Structure 1
Amino acid sequence: MLFHGYETQILDGTWMSIKLSLLSLALAIAFGLLGALCKLSRNPLLYRSAQCYSTLIRSVPDLVMMLLMFYSLQIGLNHVTDRLALPQIDIDPFSAGVVTIGFIYGAYFTETFRGAFLAVPRGQIEAGTAYGMSRLLVFRRILFPQMMRFALPGLGNNWQVLVKASALVSIIGLADIIKVTQDAGRSTMQLFYFSWLAAFIFLAITTVSSLVLHRLERRYNTGVKESRL
């Protein structure tokens, strides 16, 4: 048998990894856009805060950051509930995983978006303003579509790494594809086989993602001649 009786658990674990990755991506994009705008801001406080965020997070290994954020938040929450004589509140591993991965990769997305914003010709933004567009309209019709064209290659790369990084949630007890396949491998004494199965599932996810990203790149590059070396 292909899954040795673990079909349901593996399917659930795969869906858990996909759901975790997609929600983390949405959060990382939000953090990335906010961080990029802060780094491009003329406000020194916003700039320094974003600079500190992107530098610090990219310097600490993802595994260490996952452990620090999950366990330190739980310990801090336990101290608060103890002082207030409240029942203990356990942090949900899924929510913790989404927030942690989104926060980590938001730092990488910050640099991707910052470079993309800077690549948009300044004259087009000035032309939109001179035409009477509001700042929001300039962002929506001029800046964002062109920024996405420059950002998509970097976003695609970060997404692929984020999908693989989602495996880190297995260390905080979440039943993702890694934990499920490792448990199945130990139970059946076929750990090597189930490790290959997990690798194949991640390969399938990233392959489908590459096709979707390729279609998005074609959409945002409509009307732009592609140059090749």
Structure 2
Amino acid sequence: MNQPGILELVSFGPGGWGHALLAGAWMTILIALAGYAIGAVIGTFGAWAKISGGTTVRTAADAYTTILRGIPDLLVIYLLYFGGSAMVTAVGRLFGAEGFIGFPGFLAGALAVGITSGAQHTEVFRGAFKAVHPGEIEAAIACGMPRLMRFRRIVAPLTLRHALPGLGNVWQVVLKESALVSITGVAELLRQAQVGAGSTGLPFDFYLIAAAIYLLISTISGVFMRQAERHFSRGVRRG
């Protein structure tokens, strides 16, 4: 019996795995987007804590970034998934439920990716804010801008301009981290490739296809990030 080629494996016809791989790629993007958004929120508050917070708040923010950048991302996923499952199971028993109750894999994965990327977001936002020239903020104060308007019109746009290259790098890291979520049973791209490899006995083919899809998503993401950088750098002379 002839083994199917790669084009047959990615087809959407009978015997093809196109639908499963496409669904897995979509799930990968959803996990990455959810984790990235959570990380951006955490990073915003983390950067604020490091820049404007008191001693206790700055110490807590420093501890957060140091710990999260120092332990493996896979370990964070394990802790959230199994720790969350243990907590949900304990709560379930209080209401009469029996047996193990699993924590939602997507939620655990998105939270884990968000918490780990939050440490990177924190440093990106902090560095970007430090790159804003103090004179630009002082000029806004001299014009009598209220604090909220100053943040919306001056601080946020200028900080984002400096942060975009770093945020693009964080997105690429988050996209690769999403593959680790497969250990929770979420049917993302790598998980679908594993299932396909096990079902057909063609691991090299499926993992090669998965690599190509990851590269495609990464390339398209890079194009969007470069477009965003050009948009927010309008009027700025490049060296």
Alignment partner, residue 79 of structure 1: 90
Bigger shift: 169-178 or 64-73? 64-73
Shift of 1:86: 4.0
Alignment partner, residue 136 of structure 1: 148
Q: TM-score, normalised on structure 1?
A: 0.94
Aligned partner letter, 2:130: L
Q: Output the CA distance in 2 between the equivalents of 1:46 and 1:85.
A: 38
Bigger shift: 199-208 or 130-139? 130-139
Out of 107, 114, 120, the position equivalent to 2:132 is 120
Aligned partner letter, 2:205: Y
Alignment partner, residue 44 of structure 2: 33
Alignment partner, residue 9 of structure 2: 2
Alignment partner, residue 97 of structure 1: 109
Superposed counterparts of 1:1-229, under 5 Å: 1-3=8-10, 4-82=15-93, 84-87=94-97, 89-227=101-239
Contact 2:82 2:103 in 1 (8 A): no
**Secondary structure of the residue that 2:9 maps to in structure 1?**
coil
Instruction: Give a deviation string over 1:102-152, Cα, whole Å, max 9, x none.
Output: 111000110000000111111211221221111111111111111111111
Aligned partner letter, 1:36: A
Aligned partner letter, 2:141: T
1:175 to 1:135, Cα distance in 2 relative to 1, 3 A: same
Shift of 1:9: 1.1
1:220 to 1:190, Cα distance in 2 relative to 1, 3 A: same
Q: Structure 2 unaligned runs (5+)?
A: 1-7
Q: Output the CA distance in 1 between the equivalents of 2:52 and 2:113.
A: 25
Instruction: Give a deviation string over 1:164-196, Cα, whole Å, max 9, x none.
Output: 110001011100000101110111111100000
Aligned partner letter, 2:97: P
**Secondary structure of the residue that 1:133 maps to in structure 2?**
coil
Q: Output the CA distance in 1 between the equivalents of 2:181 and 2:212.
A: 19
Q: Output the CA distance in 2 between the equivalents of 1:90 and 1:11.
A: 26
Bigger shift: 11-20 or 88-97? 88-97
Bigger shift: 117-126 or 209-218? 117-126
Report % sequence identity: 40
Q: Output the CA distance in 2 between the equivalents of 1:42 and 1:67.
A: 31
Aligned partner letter, 1:106: G
Q: Output the CA distance in 2 between the equivalents of 1:197 and 1:42.
A: 47
Shift of 1:87: 2.7
Q: TM-score, normalised on structure 2?
A: 0.91
Bigger shift: 93-102 or 2-11? 2-11
Q: Output the CA distance in 2 between the equivalents of 1:118 and 1:87.
A: 52
